[in-house]
Amino acid sequence: MRTSLVLVAALALGACGSGPPTLSVDKGYIRLAAVPSRPAVAYFTIHGGTADTTLIAVSSEVSIKNELHQSMQSGGMEAMKPLGDVPIPAGSTVTFAPGGKHLMMFDMNPGIKPGRAVTLTFTFANNQRILFDAPTIAAGAPPPAP
């Protein structure tokens, strides 16, 4: 009987530390362009919630146009293509990182300087929106520490 009580208590304590997954965004930042007329690029990680959803847009008040892109190799050359919607399976982690998926931010406000946070609005097919304040870094700067 005592073994059963210890097992039940251990299971209950283990369940306290972890709840259901929550749709969320973290580890984001924006790399400003070296030339102000060129697009900036944003990277981030999306964590899926309890149900599948789809990322349908990422917007910002400091850029005129934003597009989700995928970098790839094509005939030994670097290339990228626009992505449509991005599936976010339940409980998954979808990473937007250099050399892979990323957000291109066109016609950025030239007043945005490294160190300033820029709010990105993530819009999902399940009608959920997430606001994320992404720090900005200069073109050659290392990514911010996680």
The model's pTM: 0.84
Q: What angle do CA 145, 54, 142 make, to 5 degrees?
A: 15
Residue-level pLDDT at 122: 98
Cβ neighbours around 22 below 10 Å, total:
9
Q: Are 125 and 85 in contact (CB under 8 A)?
A: yes
Which one-letter amino acid corresponds to residue 82?
Answer: P
**Residues 42-80: tens digit of each pLDDT:** 999 999 999 999 999 999 999 999 999 999 877 778 888
How far apart (Å, rounded) are the C-alpha atoms in residues 93 and 83? 18
How far apart (Å, rounded) are the C-alpha atoms in residues 66 and 57? 8
Q: Are 19 and 65 in contact (CB under 8 A)?
A: no
- Residues shown for the chain: 146
How far apart (Å, rounded) are the C-alpha atoms in residues 35 and 29? 18
Q: What angle do CA 40, 114, 66 make, to 5 degrees?
A: 25
| CA-wise closest residue to 109 among 129, 82, 136 | 136
Segment holding 15, helix H or strand E: helix 2-16
| Two structure tokens written together for 35 | 């030339």
Residue 20, CA atoms < 13 Å, CB-side half-sphere: 6
As a whole-number percent, the residues of the chain with pLDDT over 70 amount to 88
Residue-level pLDDT at 145: 83
